[in-house]
Amino acid sequence: MEFTKIDLDTWTRKEVFNHFIEQKTTYSMTSNLSITKAVKFAKDNNYDFYPLFIYSIVRVINSNYLYRMDFNEQGELGYYDNSVPFYSIFDSRTELTSHIDTPDAYTFAEFDRDYLSDVKKYRGTGKLFPKQPVPKNVVNISMIPWINYTEFNLNNNSNGNYLLPTVTAGRFERTGSEIKLPVTFQIHHAVCDGYHTSQFFIKLQDILNNVDEL
């Protein structure tokens, strides 16, 4: 993992960043995405949808440095060269959720293999963060498969300086021949505007439409 520092004085987003970081402005946007082709691909190839969804998100996050912005330990602004998924797993016995990471892999088949190994090892531990150490270069991912929603917001104080993205999904719904999934993207306005959030959804939808190419 590499961290590239940004020279705020010459950065094109300097004015925007300074304004929204001072205002501590975060926001979330929810969009209903079609997962019809992705669900069929998962079913035909004996995959679960959740790891396919996680892998698709990471592909988008790694496509734009603005989705990977953070402050390093010295408080310097910059971005990671890549992000890894930090996702939730639910234990139905205890009704507790744990959060673990699985390093990105070259192909989805390789990621799915590692995902299954990590879930088997860490589910049911009763710990919030059972896999240590937790990497810094993460994209937070969770799913709430028990309910379909139209809007979701996660309040993360962190002095208003938390820049890493959070992606949440709900329960899918069938509408005719289409399967729709509510997906929420939450981010700090200092690093992403509405355009960049819209691009996140557009790129994610494109990947979900072409999962056979992963």
| Cis preceding-peptide flag for 133 (omega within 30 of 0) | yes
Q: Which of 19, 99, 189, 196 is catalytic?
A: 189
Q: Which two tokens stand for residue 171?
A: 């329960």
3-state secondary structure 126-183: CCCCCCCCCCCCEEEEEECCCCCCCCCCCCCCHHHCCCCCEEEECCCEEECCEEEEEE
Six token digits for residue 76? 């310097």
Helices 36-44 and 49-61, axial angle in degrees (round to 10): 120
Catalytic residue status for 19: no
Amino acid at the residue 208: L
CA gap 50, 44 in Å, rounded: 15
Q: Could you give the residue numbers annotated as active site?
A: 189
